[in-house]
């Protein structure tokens, strides 16, 4: 790297600001992502378009059009923030009157509720990425985990001490089962995991509809695609009791445990070392005697198990049942987890921040849809845009005149289809 | 030293012999299954009727093909025995070529046996006949979309870029196609719009992958997520308040005079929408361009060995740009074709066809003609998973829906013999 970042008196905040740090790139990518979202809002909201059209009719209109534009975009992003972090006016009200705290904390509680399963799934995807594996099937694995966990949680009955751990373990087992298919296929036939996992997702969706409409698991007396409700002993209880109205629950402790596990696993365990070596340099891994086939299968078991855990945490902490729409579509946590892992550069701590950010975007998107009518899917568009920018750090660097080429950890060893 | 050390590292891909044997055994198992379930599973007196007159043409068709009645049990046992025999032949002779073709034949015979069994007359089904022509027409719509997608894959991957965003280009094409067709009532404009959207998405992929050397698969997958969410956003934001933009036009059939009057073949091949003919033309043009022209030679050189291609003066990056943009445009038209055969746009209604198209491309060994054969098999299996419900097969509709995805997985898992992608497929190229 011939370029020197700091020279003389300009070794200032600006120099540091425009350095090669991945955090800076991520920050600018976030801004670009929000900009893309704003452009989409502007070009698709009838009120804004009408205001701009009026510009052709009267002289005062450009100012008005700008105002309408800023009002709409501002309202969207403002409700996104107040709906996911905190609403200042409600906070002020609580401070002065001492009442309404539950209302004040609802947004942040919702964000944490949503972040917990997302974080767990993203850690799983991130571990796979670190091993050079694209686990695009996290959503299907989460679905099977959710099914397995919900079956144990609703059809077996026992005290909480046993029931909750067993439910979570069933979720992990379900995810591992779903993950083992692409893992085994890749290990023994060389089938590319991207197509296999995506196809497997669709198989899992069909299986979900099959089980929630089949007699033992379907809610008795129901004709719809809805499962039995999990016993209270299998649910992840709200932290502050059901009466508080806050949904934030013990799932976040599960997520924290998973992060700690992931950090230990990747940084301290010898198996995790094998994983990372395989991801960083497959031929070096082979030369040092790592059995790549075993690594492949284990990666999918770990990654799938975590996705399954995410699925059951999601079901056990929010709805307490699963239905035919569980995690389906682009909103599924398994898909968001891919973008979260990429944004967090596959490192546990990075993924924590990334999942909080994307959970906030998702929850805020719902608030935005409720109050401004702008569809929630915008949040997913912004998320993917952010990740596209993060995945091309050189582009961000050029756009913002950052100094040195940021080192990218997203550059995986790209391989063709053969094996 | 490490937990997973082993003294000997087994090869990741098994030897071709083992794989051929595996395929042979699979063929045998499929054959036995057909004998046991479809053959012996139907009562001795059961018969299946095959009809050939298209539903919508029957009154005006100048021909009438009689009903073919077959004894279900014996036909299926016969088909099963042929399948087993093919498996045995492959197992013993291990032919170096044509294993894939034989497996394709077994797959088609299996589907025929399945249909005969489903439509047998003393059976659970209310439908007492199997209309072959109608099934071929119905599945040709899915097949057509898959061919567009796999041609797009061939274009991109022959030049060394993995276009995993085909699904996204389908969605984009279907969205814009519905919008244009609803407002202008012209499918030509819709196709152009779809090509532009698909081409732009291809350009974005190429830009990120070639200029910035981003990982092609990451960019592709994220693009699909982005287009998927953007389309459901726009669906709510534009199509819900303004339903006149998404009225769901079906492309009219353009009957080719004379040829469309040929029994069976006519309605299937010569009474189709313009997209179908365009697809046929594209297959020919791309085959010719790839294998018979100078440009095609350049493309294949770039996909196999970009450094060598650059040494002889081929502009690697330009060739890749052109091919990815053209491939994206083809997939975009495929999206319009899908919309024109399924009706109004709904978010997520391509349900993974873009990835199945990629699998068809792999099955077809990165050749347009192979992609067509593969797409026919995939198209049939997708379509049968829709219609088997009406035959009251004693299997849940949701289990039937899994069939195409299972077949895709089986194909990608290399059931079909060793496939060799272009050597530089998916690898970033840095011009030094």
Residues of B in contact with A45 (CB under 8 A): 237
| Cβ-based burial of A419 (10 A; exposed 0-12, middle 13-18, buried ≥19) | middle
Q: Which of B7, B221, B350 is most worth mutating to test chain A (most A CB atoms within 10 A of its CB)?
A: B221
Identify how many contiguous H helices and E strands chain B contains and give both numbers.
Answer: 15, 5
What six digits make up the tokens of A110?
């919702």
CB–CB of A289 and B425 under 8 A?
no
Q: Which of A32, A206, A276, A386 is most worth mutating to test chain B (most B CB atoms within 10 A of its CB)?
A: A206
Closest Cβ opposite residue B216 in set A185, A330, A414: A414
How many Cβ atoms from other residues are within 10 Å of residue B292's Cβ?
Answer: 10
CB–CB of B238 and A44 under 8 A?
yes
Size of chain B in residues:
432
Q: What is the pLDDT of residues A282-312, one digit of tens each?
A: 888 888 888 888 999 999 999 999 999 999 9
What pairing do the DSSP bridges indicate for beta strands B254-255 and B271-272?
Answer: antiparallel
Q: How far is A160 from chain B (nearest CA, A)?
A: 34
Q: Is the pLDDT of residue B46 over 60?
A: yes
- Percentage of chain B with pLDDT > 70? 92
Closest Cβ opposite residue A270 in set B2, B241, B426: B2
Contacts of B43 (CB under 8 A, 6+ apart): B73, B122
CB–CB of A190 and B425 under 8 A?
no
Residues of A in contact with B216 (CB under 8 A): 414
Closest Cβ opposite residue B3 in set A271, A385, A395: A271
CATH number at residue A150: 1.10.3470
CB–CB of B222 and A377 under 8 A?
no
Place of tokens 């489903």: B118
**How confident is the model at residue B294, as a pLDDT?**
94
Contacts of B199 (CB under 8 A, 6+ apart): B325, B326, B328, B329, B332
Q: Tell me, yes or no, whether A141 lies in a domain.
A: yes
Q: Which residue of A has its CA nearest to B408?
A: A199
Range of the domain at A206: 108-360
Q: What confidence category does residue A14 fall into, taking pLDDT thresholds of 50, 70 and 90? A: low
Q: How far is A406 from chain B (nearest CA, A)?
A: 12
Q: How far is A91 from chain B (nearest CA, A)?
A: 31
pTM for the complete prediction? 0.88
CB–CB of B421 and A418 under 8 A?
yes
A77-96 burial, b if ≥16 CB within 10 A, otherwise e? bbbbbbbbebbeebbebbee
Q: Which of A346, A414, A419 is most worth mutating to test chain B (most B CB atoms within 10 A of its CB)?
A: A414
Give me the residue spans of the domains in chain B. 16-128, 136-249+257-392
Q: What is the pLDDT of residues A349-369, one digit of tens each?
A: 999 999 999 999 999 999 999
| Range of lowest pLDDT (A224-228, B238-242, B420-424) | B420-424
User: In this structure, are residues B99 and B90 in contact, taking their beta carbons and an 8 Å threshold?
Assistant: yes
Q: Tell me, yes or no, whether A94 lies in a domain.
A: no
Comparison of pLDDT for A170 and B65, the residue scoring more:
A170
Place of tokens 């059961």: B46
Residues of B in contact with A187 (CB under 8 A): 12
Q: Is the pLDDT of residue A412 over 80?
A: no
CB–CB of B9 and A289 under 8 A?
yes
Q: The dihedral of CA A158, A162, A165, A166: what is its sign? A: negative
CB–CB of B413 and A191 under 8 A?
yes
CB–CB of B422 and A384 under 8 A?
no
Q: Tell me, yes or no, whether A371 lies in a domain.
A: no
CB–CB of A377 and B229 under 8 A?
yes
Q: What does the pLDDT average to over B129-143?
A: 88
Flag whether the ipTM exceeds 0.90.
no
CB–CB of B6 and A289 under 8 A?
yes
Q: In angstroms, rounded to a whole number, what is the distance separating the alpha carbons of residues A48 and A260?
A: 47
Q: In angstroms, rounded to a whole number, what is the distance separating the alpha carbons of residues B164 and B410?
A: 19
Q: How far is B400 from chain A (nearest CA, A)?
A: 9
Comparison of pLDDT for B97 and B81, the residue scoring more:
B81
**How confident is the model at residue A173, as a pLDDT?**
97
Residue B50: strand pairing partners: B68, B130
Q: Tell me, yes or no, whether A253 lies in a domain.
A: yes
Q: How far is A144 from chain B (nearest CA, A)?
A: 15
Q: Which residue of B has its CA nearest to A365?
A: B233
Average pLDDT over chain A, rounded to whole? 86
Q: In angstroms, rounded to a whole number, what is the distance separating the alpha carbons of residues A169 and A150?
A: 11
CB–CB of B347 and A213 under 8 A?
no
**How confident is the model at residue A411, as a pLDDT?**
46
Q: Tell me, yes or no, whether A43 lies in a domain.
A: no
Q: What does the pLDDT average to over A101-107?
A: 88
Size of interface A-B (CB pairs under 8 A): 215
Closest Cβ opposite residue B226 in set A194, A206, A384: A384
**How confident is the model at residue A145, as a pLDDT?**
96
**How confident is the model at residue B394, as a pLDDT?**
76
Q: Which of A214, A341, A384, A410 is most worth mutating to test chain B (most B CB atoms within 10 A of its CB)?
A: A384
Q: How far is A168 from chain B (nearest CA, A)?
A: 26
Q: What is the pLDDT of residues B321-380, one digit of tens each?
A: 999 999 999 999 999 999 999 888 988 888 889 999 998 898 888 999 989 988 998 898
Q: Tell me, yes or no, whether A99 lies in a domain.
A: no
Q: What is the pLDDT of residues B266-310, one digit of tens each?
A: 888 888 889 999 999 999 999 999 999 999 999 999 999 999 999
Average pLDDT over chain B, rounded to whole? 86
CB–CB of B2 and A290 under 8 A?
yes
In chain A, how many domains are there?
Answer: 1
CB–CB of B232 and A377 under 8 A?
yes
**Which class would CATH give B136-249+257-392?**
mainly alpha
3-state secondary structure chain A: CCCCCCCHHHCCHHHHHCCCCHHHHHHHHHHHHHHHHHHHHHHHCHHHHHHHHHCCCCCCHHHHHHHHHHHHHHHHHHHHHHCCCCCHHHHHHHHHHCCCHHHHHHHHHHHHHHHHHHHHHHHHHHHHHHCCCCCCCHHHHHHHHHHHHHHHHHHCCCCHHHHHHHHHHHHHHHHHHHHHHHHHHHHHHCCCHHHHHHHHHHHHHHHHHHHHCCCCCECCCCCCCEECCCCHHHCCCECCCHHHCCCCECHHHHHHHHHHHHHHHHHCCHHHHHHHHHHHCHHHHHHCCECHHHHHHHHHHHHHHHHHHHHHHHHHHHHCCCECCCCCCCCCHHHHHHHHHHHCCCCHHHHHHHHHHHHHHHHHHHHHHHHHCCCCHHHHHHHHHHHHHHHCHHHHHHHCCCCCCCCCCCCCCCCCCCC
Q: Is the pLDDT of residue B401 over 70?
A: yes
Contacts of A418 (CB under 8 A, 6+ apart): A190, B13, B419, B420, B421
| Range of lowest pLDDT (A301-310, A381-390, B113-122) | B113-122
- Percentage of chain A with pLDDT > 90? 50
CB–CB of A194 and B10 under 8 A?
no
Q: What confidence category does residue A404 fall into, taking pLDDT thresholds of 50, 70 and 90? A: low
Tell me the angle at which helices A160-189 and A292-314 cross, rounded to the nearest 10 degrees.
Answer: 140
Q: What confidence category does residue B127 fall into, taking pLDDT thresholds of 50, 70 and 90? A: confident
Q: What does the pLDDT average to over A209-213?
A: 91
CB–CB of A202 and B351 under 8 A?
yes
CB–CB of A291 and B225 under 8 A?
no
Closest Cβ opposite residue B217 in set A210, A392, A414: A414
**How confident is the model at residue B10, as a pLDDT?**
41
Closest Cβ opposite residue B4 in set A291, A342, A391: A291
Closest Cβ opposite residue A196 in set B208, B356, B412: B412
Q: What does the pLDDT average to over A179-196?
A: 88
Q: Is the pLDDT of residue A315 over 80?
A: yes
């Amino acid at each position: 790297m011939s370029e020197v970042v700091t020279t003389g008196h300009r070794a200032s905040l600006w120099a540091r600001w425009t350095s090669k740090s991945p955090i800076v790139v991520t920050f600018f990518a976030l801004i670009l992502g929000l900009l893309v979202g704003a452009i989409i809002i502007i070009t698709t909201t009838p009120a804004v378009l009408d205001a701009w059209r009026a510009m052709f009719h009267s002289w005062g209109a450009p100012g008005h059009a700008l105002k309408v534009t800023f009002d709409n975009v501002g309202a969207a992003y403002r409700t996104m923030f107040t709906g996911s972090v905190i609403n200042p006016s409600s906070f002020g009200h609580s401070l002065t009157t001492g009442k309404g705290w539950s209302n004040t904390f609802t947004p942040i509680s919702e964000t944490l509720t949503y972040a917990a399963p997302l974080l767990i799934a993203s850690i799983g995807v991130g571990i796979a990425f670190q091993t050079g594996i694209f686990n695009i099937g996290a959503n299907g694995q989460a679905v099977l985990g959710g099914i397995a966990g919900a079956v144990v949680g609703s059809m077996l009955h026992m005290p909480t001490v046993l029931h909750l751990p067993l439910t979570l373990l069933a979720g992990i087992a379900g995810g591992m089962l779903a993950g083992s298919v692409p893992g085994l296929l890749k290990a023994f036939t060389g089938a590319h995991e991207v197509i296999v996992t995506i196809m497997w997702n669709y198989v899992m969706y069909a299986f979900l509809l099959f089980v929630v409409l089949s007699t033992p698991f379907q809610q008795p007396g129901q004709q719809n695609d809805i499962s039995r409700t999990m016993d209270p002993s299998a649910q992840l209880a709200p932290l502050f009791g059901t009466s508080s109205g806050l949904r934030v629950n013990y799932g976040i402790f599960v997520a924290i445990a998973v992060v700690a596990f992931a950090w230990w696993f990747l940084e301290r365990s010898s198996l995790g070392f094998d994983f990372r070596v395989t991801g960083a340099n497959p031929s070096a891994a082979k030369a040092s005697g790592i059995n790549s086939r075993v690594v492949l299968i284990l990666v999918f078991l770990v990654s799938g198990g975590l996705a399954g855990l995410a699925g059951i945490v999601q079901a056990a902490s929010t709805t307490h049942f699963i239905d035919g729409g569980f995690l389906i579509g682009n909103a599924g946590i398994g898909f968001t987890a891919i973008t979260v892992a990429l944004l967090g550069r596959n490192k546990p701590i990075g993924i924590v921040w990334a999942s909080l950010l994307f959970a906030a975007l998702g929850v805020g998107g719902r608030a935005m849809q409720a109050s401004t009518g702008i569809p929630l899917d915008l949040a997913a568009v912004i998320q993917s845009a952010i990740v596209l920018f993060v995945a091309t750090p050189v582009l961000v660097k050029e756009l913002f005149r950052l100094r040195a080429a940021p080192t990218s950890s997203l550059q995986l060893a790209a391989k063709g289809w053969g094996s | 030293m490490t937990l997973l050390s082993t003294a000997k590292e087994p090869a990741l891909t098994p030897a071709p012999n083992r794989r051929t044997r595996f395929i042979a055994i699979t063929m045998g198992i499929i054959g036995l299954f057909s004998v046991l379930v479809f053959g012996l599973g139907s009562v001795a007196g059961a018969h299946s009727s095959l009809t050939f007159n298209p539903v919508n043409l029957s009154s005006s068709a100048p021909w009438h093909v009689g009903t073919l009645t077959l004894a279900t049990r014996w036909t299926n046992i016969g088909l099963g025995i042929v399948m087993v025999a093919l498996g045995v032949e492959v197992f013993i002779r291990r032919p170096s070529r044509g294993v894939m073709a034989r497996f394709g034949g077994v797959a088609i015979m299996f589907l025929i046996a399945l249909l005969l069994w489903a439509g047998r007359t003393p059976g659970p089904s209310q439908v007492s006949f199997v209309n072959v022509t109608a099934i071929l027409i119905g599945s040709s719509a899915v097949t057509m979309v898959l061919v567009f997608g796999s041609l797009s894959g061939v274009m991109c991957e022959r030049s060394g870029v993995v276009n995993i965003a085909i699904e996204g280009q389908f969605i984009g094409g279907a969205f814009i196609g519905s919008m244009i067709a609803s407002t202008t009532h012209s499918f030509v404009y819709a196709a152009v719009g779809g090509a532009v959207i698909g081409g732009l998405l291809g350009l974005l992929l190429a830009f990120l992958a070639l200029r910035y050397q981003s990982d092609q698969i990451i960019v592709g997958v994220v693009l699909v997520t982005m287009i998927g969410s953007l389309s459901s956003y726009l669906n709510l934001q534009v199509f819900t308040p303004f339903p006149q933009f998404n009225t769901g036009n079906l492309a009219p059939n353009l009957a080719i005079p004379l040829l469309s009057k040929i029994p069976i073949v006519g309605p299937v091949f010569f009474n189709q929408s313009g997209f179908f003919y365009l697809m046929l033309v594209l297959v020919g043009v791309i085959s010719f361009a790839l294998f018979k022209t100078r440009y095609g030679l350049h493309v294949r050189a770039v996909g196999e060995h970009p450094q060598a291609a650059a040494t002889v003066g081929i502009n690697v990056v330009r060739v890749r740009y052109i091919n990815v943009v053209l491939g994206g445009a083809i997939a975009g038209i495929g999206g319009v074709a899908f919309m024109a055969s399924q009706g109004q746009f709904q978010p997520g209604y391509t349900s993974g066809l873009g990835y199945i198209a990629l699998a068809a491309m792999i099955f077809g060994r990165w050749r347009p003609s192979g992609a067509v054969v593969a797409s026919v098999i995939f198209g049939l299996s997708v379509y049968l998973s829709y219609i088997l419900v009406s035959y009251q097969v004693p299997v849940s509709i949701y289990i039937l829906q899994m069939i195409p995805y299972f077949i895709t997985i089986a194909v990608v898992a290399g059931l079909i013999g060793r496939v060799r992608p272009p050597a530089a497929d998916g690898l970033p190229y840095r011009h030094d």
